Amino acid sequence: MAQVTMTVNGKAATGDIEGRTLLSAFLRETLNLTGTHVGCDTSQCGACVVHVDGEAVKACTILAAEAAGTEVTTIEGMANADGSLNVIQQAFQDHHGLQCGFCTPGMVMSAAALLKENPKPSEAEVRDYLEGNICRCTGYHNIVKAIMAASGQDVAAVAAE
Ligand code: FES
Ligand code: FES
């Protein structure tokens, strides 16, 4: 076992882990931040996306030890300071961008990373960026709509699936 420390959602977080512990497991099992979902553990589904030093990362693809000293943001850190949903989360709600919700934390984290680097993405750019995020429920249409809406763009023209 070794001790690892990182900043998670703005607070210092320390835990004793085995060397093989994935960041996703550290977040969920050590820190009890279960909003980061694990759908595959093989970097396929994107349910585990978090931000590490501002970059979207699949938390099942790196070791917790590799994230030592970084700033990690999870879905639990995404709400506004007053606890209300942020603009992306609200858009997912308004545009029915979720059904079971399993993929949603990863979708929101990926969307946030996309909008940070490309504040007004085209529909094609949104679809392209979400290639690593799998949703088994929605058919993606409303997720794309939600992200377009969160970027302040008209969603009426978003093509049906
Ligand atoms: S759990 Fe990480 S990509 Fe599926
Ligand atoms: S809402 Fe169910 S997997 Fe996406």
Question: Measured from the CB, is residue 41 less than 6 Å from ligand 1?
Answer: yes
The pLDDT value recorded for residue 159 is 66
Mean pLDDT of 88-92: 98
The pLDDT value recorded for residue 156 is 84
- Calpha distance 23→74 (Å, rounded): 11
Q: Is the pLDDT of residue 161 over 70?
A: no
Domains plus CATH for the chain? 2-76 (3.10.20.30), 87-150 (1.10.150.120)
Ligand lying nearest the CA atom of residue 27: 1
Q: Is the pLDDT of residue 114 over 60?
A: yes
> pLDDT digits over 126-148, tens only?
999 999 999 999 999 999 999 99
Question: Measured from the CB, is residue 134 less than 6 Å from ligand 2?
Answer: no
pTM confidence score: 0.96
**Which of 38, 130, 135 should be mutated for ligand 2, with most atoms under 8 A from CB?**
135
Q: What percentage of the chain reaches a pLDDT higher than 90?
A: 94
Burial of 123 (0-12, 13-18, 19+ CB in 10 A): middle
Question: Measured from the CB, is residue 101 less than 6 Å from ligand 2?
Answer: yes
User: 118 CA to middle of ligand 1, Å?
Assistant: 24
108 residue type, one letter: V
